[in-house]
Amino acid sequence: MSRTEVERVAPAELSALRHALAIARRGPSNGPNPRVGAVLLSPEGEVLGEGWHRGAGTPHAEVAALVDAAARGSDTAGATAVVTLEPCNHTGRTGPCSEALIAAGIGRVVVSVADPNPVAAGGAQRLRDAGVDVQTGVLADEGRELLGAWLPSVERGRPFVTLKLATSLDGRVAAADGSSRWITSEVSRRHAHDLRAEVGAIVVGTGTVLADDPSLTARNAADELHGQQPLRVVVGHRRVPPGARLHGPGGELLTVQSHDPAAVLAVLAEREVRHVLVEGGPTLAAAFVRAGLVDEVHAYVAPVLLGAGPPALADLGIATIGDAVRLTTRSVLPLGPDVLIVATPEPTSTSSKEH
């Protein structure tokens, strides 16, 4: 935020925006809609109402804040709406928030992040056209961080893809006899379940289904299913056995009879999936990497040496070190005896392959 922008934002508005960012996190992280928070302030800087988006089909944060203000008996004429994402300007499952704010007599709107969705964007301009003072780009880094995978998913027109790897120190995902339970520790596996709870879909290949019989569920520390379960996606032409654990409790099971990662993501985009976790074996992992469709890698690395067994990735067709897919490390997190490395591919390694 520039110095001029800082001068245009009152301390009460900055405080309200930080609160809006905090309450927005109460909303679901794995639905088709973004996490959004809103706080309404009087001209004197007092809180009139607040709200957050609770999931698809429910009132947006701005409308929830207006409802809260009405319940408190607050007059919103001339008030300031502080929101984490630009108010929408379209009618979907709910009406346009820009119109709701105008009807409520809001005089000023402070926005953290502009909406990149061409369907919903335009709220800021609609408000300005109605005479509302609008300030955008306030605490934008914090706003983008809140939106997580939703933001790049909308910007790229496809689900954001996280590739999960769980390997030995020498890069093996199983021993020579195929056994893989357990390379990583219980601490790492619990962290991985928390990651599953944040995504809209988990993708594996038929080879993993036949070899490991996974359930692909998200469970808490008590080994209970989380309230919201990701879609379970099996890629390939072989059939999921009738007795497979994938038919048990958990998210909906979807089979995609294709080996093309772009086709898989297109199917999931139609279902409004914003974040995909690829958990398949070396073949599926390599296919997504080769296609340039991996946005982030979560590598759980255990201090174990196997010396043989399948590697984390199948052949990428790389013959020389100059063609290596290079990544930028974003974080390193110790997990019991293991380490989680979160990294993102460098633009030069994927931009030419992006579908």
| β-bridge mates for residue 226, sequence order | none
CA distance 192 to 34: 22
How does DSSP classify residue 87?
P
Strand order in the sheet with 80-85: 47-52, 37-41, 80-85, 108-113, 133-135
CA distance 161 to 149: 9
Is 62 an active-site residue?
yes
> How many domains is the chain built from?
2
The answer to whether 345 and 327 have CB atoms below 8 angstroms apart is yes
* Paired sense of beta strands 201-205 and 231-235, if any: parallel
Burial of 315 (0-12, 13-18, 19+ CB in 10 A): exposed
Same domain, 132 and 246: no
How does DSSP classify residue 151?
H
Residue matched to tokens 């992280």: 29
CATH of the domain at 25: 3.40.140.10
User: pLDDT tens track of the chain, all 355 residues?
Assistant: 444 455 589 999 999 999 999 999 999 887 788 999 999 999 999 999 999 999 888 899 999 999 999 999 999 999 999 999 999 987 766 779 999 999 999 999 999 999 987 776 789 999 999 999 999 999 999 999 999 999 999 999 999 999 999 999 999 998 888 888 889 999 999 999 999 999 999 999 999 999 889 999 999 888 889 888 999 999 999 999 999 999 999 999 999 999 999 999 999 999 999 999 999 899 999 999 999 999 999 999 999 999 999 999 999 999 999 899 999 999 999 999 999 999 999 876 444 444 4
User: 13, 62, 198, 279: which is the annotated catalytic residue?
Assistant: 62
Same domain, 188 and 262: yes
CATH of the domain at 326: 3.40.430.10
Same domain, 138 and 160: no
Q: Which helix (H) or strand (E) covers residue 152, if one does?
A: helix 150-156
How does DSSP classify residue 75?
-
Peptide bond into 52 cis (omega under 30): no
Q: Is residue 355 part of a domain?
A: no
Whether the full predicted model's pTM is greater than 0.85, yes or no, is: yes
Q: Is residue 191 part of a domain?
A: yes
Per the structure, the complete domain to which residue 241 belongs is given by 154-350
CA distance 114 to 180: 45
